[in-house]
Structure 1
Amino acid sequence: QIVFVLSSALNPGNEEMGEHLVKHGDGVKDIAFEVEDCDFIVQKAKERGAVVVKEPWVEEDKFGKVKFAVIQTYGDTTHTLIEKLNYKGLFLPGYHPPLFKDPLLPKLPSAKLSFIDHVVGNQPDLQMVPVADWYQKNLLFHRFWSVDDKQLHTEFSALRSIVVTNYEETIKMPINEPALGKKKSQIQEYVDYYGGAGVQHIALNTSDIISAITNLKQRGMQFMDVPSSYYQILRERLKTAKIKVKENIDKLAELKILVDFDEKGYLLQIFTKPVQDRPTVFLEVIQRHNHQGFGAGNFKSLFEAIEMDQDARGNLTVLEPNGET
Structure 2
Amino acid sequence: MDIRGIDHIELFVGDARQAAFYFDRAVGFQLRGQGGPETGLADQRSLLLCQGDVRIVLTTGLTAEHPAARYVQRHGDGVAVVALEVDDAAGAYAELVRRGAAGVTPPTTHTGADAEVVTAEVGGFGDVLHRLVSRRGDPGEFLPGAVDMTPPDGGGKLLAEIDHLAVCVPPGQLDETVRYYRDVFGFAEIFAEHVEVAGQAMNSTVVQSPSGRVTLVLLEPDRSRRPGQLDAFLDQHVGAGVQHLGLRTDDIVTAVTVLAERGVRFAGTPASYYDALEGRVGPVDAPLDRLRDLGVLVDRDHGGQLLQIFTESMHVRRTLFLELIERRGARTFGSGNIKALYEAKERELAAAGATAAAPTPQEVRA
1:75-224, aligned counterparts within 5 Å? Answer: 75-93=126-144, 94-98=146-150, 110=156, 112-148=158-194, 152-180=195-223, 182-224=225-267
CA distance in 1, matches of 2:132, 2:143: 13
Q: Is the 8 A contact 2:64 2:70 kept in 1?
A: no
Equivalent residues in 2 for 1:294-313, closer than 5 Å = 294-301=333-340, 308-310=359-361
- Whether the 8 Å contact between 1:274 and 1:280 is mirrored in structure 2 is yes
What is the rounded CA distance, in whole Å, between the counterparts of 2:318 and 2:178 in structure 1?
A: 24
Indicate if the aligned counterparts of 1:179 and 1:185 stay in contact, CA closer than 8 A.
Answer: no
- 1:299–1:111 CA distance, 2 compared to 1 (3 A): farther
**SS of structure 1 residue aligned to 2:133:** strand
Unaligned runs of 5+ in 2: 1-52, 346-357
Cα shift at 1:95: 1.9
Partner of 1:46: 97
Shift of 1:224: 0.5
For 2:115, give the aligned amino acid.
G
The separation in 2 between residues aligned to 1:188 and 1:237, in whole angstroms, is 29
Matched, 1:255 2:294: yes
Q: Which amino acid aligns with 2:332?
A: G
State the one-letter code of the partner of 2:219. N
The 3 A distance-change label for structure 1 pair 309 and 237 is closer
Query: Of 37, 55, 58, which residue of structure 2 is paired with 1:3?
Result: 55
1:276 aligned partner? 315
TM-score (norm 2): 0.76
Q: Deviations over 1:179-221 (max 9, x none)?
A: 1354212111101110000000100001100000000101110
Task: Say which structure is richer in strand.
Answer: 2
CA distance in 1, matches of 2:180, 2:303: 32
- CA positional deviation for 1:14: 2.8
Contact 2:89 2:133 in 1 (8 A): yes
Flag the 1:248–1:257 CA change in 2: closer, same or farther, 3 A.
same
How many residue pairs get aligned? The number is: 298
Greater shift, 44-53 or 181-190, is seen at 181-190
1:85-123 deviations in Å (ceiling 9; x for gaps): 224434222222359x9xxx98xx846110000011100
Contact kept, 8 Å, 2:266 with 2:311, in 1: the verdict is: yes
Amino acid at match of 1:175: L
SS of the aligned residue for 2:149 comes to coil
Gaps of 5+ in 1: 313-325
CA distance in 2, matches of 1:158, 1:130: 19
Identity %: 32
Tell me the amino acid that sits aligned with residue 23 of structure 1.
R
Distance 2:280 2:188 in 1: 33
Give, in whole Å, the separation in 2 of the partners of 1:161 and 1:27: 21
TM-score under structure 1 normalisation?
A: 0.85
